[in-house]
Amino acid sequence: MATAFGSYTGKILKINLAEKTCEEYPFSDKEREMFLGGKILAAKIIYDNIKHKIDAYDDENIIVVSTGPLNGTAAPSSSRFNISAISPLTGLLSSSNCGGNFGMSLKRAGYDALVITGKAAEKTLLKITEDKVDFLSADGLWGLKTGETQEKIGGKCGKIVIGPAGENLVRYACIVSEERAAGRGGLGAVMGSKNLKAVTAEGALLPKVKNRERLKTLNYKWAKLLQNHPLTGAQLPKLGTAGLLTTMQMKHILATKNFSAGQYDEFDKISGEHMSEKFLIKNKGCLTCPIKCARVVNIHGKNVKGPEVEIMGLMGANILNNDLEKIMLWNYEMDEYGMDTISTSGCFAFAMELNEKGLWDNGLEFGKIDRVSEVIKEIAFRSSEVGDVMAEGTKRMSERFGGKDFCISSKGMELSAYEPRAAVGQGLGYAVSNRGGCHLNAGYLVVLEGLGLSINPYTHSGKATLSMTFQDLMEAVSAGGSCLFTTYAFFPSFLLTKPNSLMTRIVNKILPYLGGALYLAGKLPWILPVNLPPIFPHPVVINAATGMKLNFGKMLRVGERGYNLERLVNQRMGVKASDDALPKRLTDTLQDPKNPKSRVPLETMKKRYYASRSWDKEGHPTKRLIKRLGIVYDMEGTE
C-alpha cells in the first residue's frame, strides 16, 4: 500500500510459515500517523489479529518485526528495530528492541515491517529480498549458536537468528542480530516454536525522506546535542551503561543477594570503571550512533561485546560474585546460546536462595560460581533437571518450590538490577509495566530518582504521573525508531554536572509535580503544540523525514495510545490489577530497618497511577479513554 509519507516504504509483508505464502498487509497513512512504527505499530497489528487469549506457542501467535520512520534516515542512534509477540514468559504482549543491522536491511528490502504467522512444518530460514521471499531449509543451522548461525548464513544481509535456547523453548530465549539482542520476553522461543531459525533481509531500496536538506541539518545538530551532553557525550561513551553501577551502589539501588539489599561491599571489583581499566578494548556503537555505548572486551582471544550494567549487577552483587572476568564470559555465553541475560541472571539468584532456604536442593550457592557456565549451558539445552527447571523462569520455579515472597519478578518477568526500595517510582513502574519487570517499559524513573537526577527516591508523591509520562514518552521515541538513550538529553546538562546548585535543587523539588502538567498536556495535546528541539528533537526530525506534523504534545499522545493499546492486548490475555504486583520482599520488608520509607508503597501509587491513566479498578483502560485515543474498542468477550 503506497504512502504519501517520506521515509516509510509503505509496505508491510505478511508471511504464512505453514502455507509458505506471502501477501501485503494493509496499513493506511492514517494508521501510520496514529501508530508511527516500531512497538506501537506492532501492538496495533497484534490487537487487530489476536482477539482472544492464546498460548505463546499456539500457531495463532504472530511475530511482528517492525521499524520506525527514522530507521534508515541516518538520524542519530536510529538503527533500532522492534520485535513483538505474545510472550511465553509472561503470557502477555512482549516487545523487545534491538540494535543490530536487520531493521535497516528490512527497509532496504522494501518493507517497514514483517508479520510472521503460522508454524513451519520444517526448520526454516526465511530469506527476504526486494522481489521475493524464499523459504529455505534451516537443517544445517539448527543447533548452532547465534554467532555461528550468522557466520554460516554469511553475506552482507541483515539477520535475526535464535540460538539453542530458542530452539529448546527456554522461556526467556532472545533473538540476536549481529551482537545485539531483542532480549526480553522469550521471543526467541516463539521463533523456535514456529521452527524459524533465522530471517535475513537484503536490498538496495533506500526509502526517500521528505526534506533531505532539513533532515541533514537537524541530524547534525542532534548529534552535536548528544555529543555535548554529560551522559550521552561523556559517561556512556567512556564507561557504557556499566558506568551506572557505582552510582547504583552509592544510592542503595544495586540489587544484592537476590534483592535482599541495595549495596554490595565489593562493588568496585565489578564496576564499569574496573572494566574500563582492566578489560576494555574499545567502545562500539549501533549503526548511525554517535553515543557508542557498547563495550568491546576479549574472551578466549576473541573480541566480543562486553556486558551491560544489568548483568554486571545481577551476576555480580545479586549472586555475591566479585569476579568481573567471569561475568564477561557468562554474558558472552548467554548471547551465544541466545538467552536473555537479565532473566537468566534472575533465575540464578532465585535458585541460590531456594537452595539456601532448603526449598530446592540444586547445588547452587551465593558466592560459589564454579558451576555457573555449566548451568547456563544446561538451561540452553534443557539438558539437566536443574537446567530444565530454570529454563521455565522464576515464576514457574516459585510455583513448584515456593518462595513467592522473594521471587523477584513481575508478571513473570525477572526484574533488572535496580533495587526499587530506594527508588520507589521505579518500583511502581516494574509492577505496572506492560511487558513485566522491565526497567525501560516501566518508564525508567530510577534515572530521576538517583542515576541522573536526585528527586526524592522514597516519596510516592508525583511518581504515578511521572511514571505514566515517561512510559508514554519512551513508547513514542521507540516507535519512531530511536534508541531510548537519546531521551537522556531531555535533562539539561547543568542538572547532572551541578547537582548541588540552587537551580538543580529547585528542579529536583518541583519535578515530581511536572508529571501532572505533562499529564494534562497528554490529555489535551493542543495545549502543548510546541517543539523543544534543544532537548527533545524527535518530533521535528520525524517531521522532516516523513512530512508529518508532530509536536511534543502529539508525540505524548502517540505514546499514550501505544501504551494503552498494549494494555488492551494484555487485557485480552487476562491481565488484571492483581498482576500489577511485586514480591513482598520489595513491598513489605524494609531495605533499611531504620528508614520506614525504604519499601515500595505499591498499592498507594498504583491507585494514583490507574486514576492518572483513566484505568478502572481492574487496571483496564476505560471505553471513554480508548475512544479519546482514537482506538476502535473491540473487547467484547474479554472480561
Binding site residues, ligand SF4, CB under 6 A: 77, 99, 285-286, 289, 291-294, 483, 485
Residue for grid cell 515530581: 512
Q: Cα separation of 199 and 383, whole Å?
A: 27
Q: Which of 107, 129, 131, 80 is nearest to 209 (CA)?
A: 107
Which of 344-363 are b and which e, b meaning 16 or more Cβ less than 10 Å from the residue's Cβ?
bbbbbbbbbbbbeeebbebe
Between strands 113-117 and 63-66, the pairing is antiparallel
Instruction: Compute the C-alpha angle 197/199/205, nearest 5°.
Output: 175
Instruction: Please report, for residues 411, 442, 608, the alpha-carbon distance to residue 467 in angstroms, rounded to integers and kept in the order given.
Output: 18, 7, 11
Contacts of 92 (CB under 8 A, 6+ apart): 86, 411, 434, 435, 436, 569, 570, 573, 575
* Long-range contact pairs involving 321-328 (C-beta distance under 8 Å, separation at least 24): 321/270, 321/367, 321/369, 322/266, 322/269, 322/270, 323/269, 323/270, 323/369, 324/269, 324/270, 324/274, 324/275, 324/278, 324/279, 325/279, 326/369, 326/372, 327/270, 328/275, 328/279, 328/297, 328/299
Beta bridge partners of 295: 283
Instruction: Compute the chain's Rg from CA coordinates.
Output: 23
Phi (first) and psi of residue 464, to 5 degrees: -65, -50
- Residue 176 has φ and ψ, to the nearest 5°, of -115, 140
What does the block give as the cell for 213? 536538506
| Cβ contacts of 261 within 8 Å, gap of 6 or more | 419, 591
What is the C-alpha to C-alpha distance for residues 315 and 205, in angstroms, rounded to an integer?
43
Q: Are strands 196-201 and 180-182 parallel, antiparallel or unpaired?
A: unpaired
At a CB cut-off of 8 Å and minimum separation 6, what does 52 contact? 572, 637, 638
Bridge partners of 305, per DSSP, are 296
Query: Based on the number of CB atoms within 10 Å of its own CB, is 215 exposed (0-12), middle (13-18) or buried (19 or more)?
Result: buried
State the nearest-atom distance from the C-beta of 293 to ligand SF4, in Å: 3
Instruction: Please tell me the distance from the alpha carbon of residue 557 to that of residue 233, in angstroms, as a whole number.
Output: 29
Quote the least distance from Cβ 427 to ligand SF4, whole Å: 25
Coil, strand or helix at 294: strand
**Alpha-carbon distances of 562 from 35, 437, 502, rounded to whole Å:** 7, 18, 37
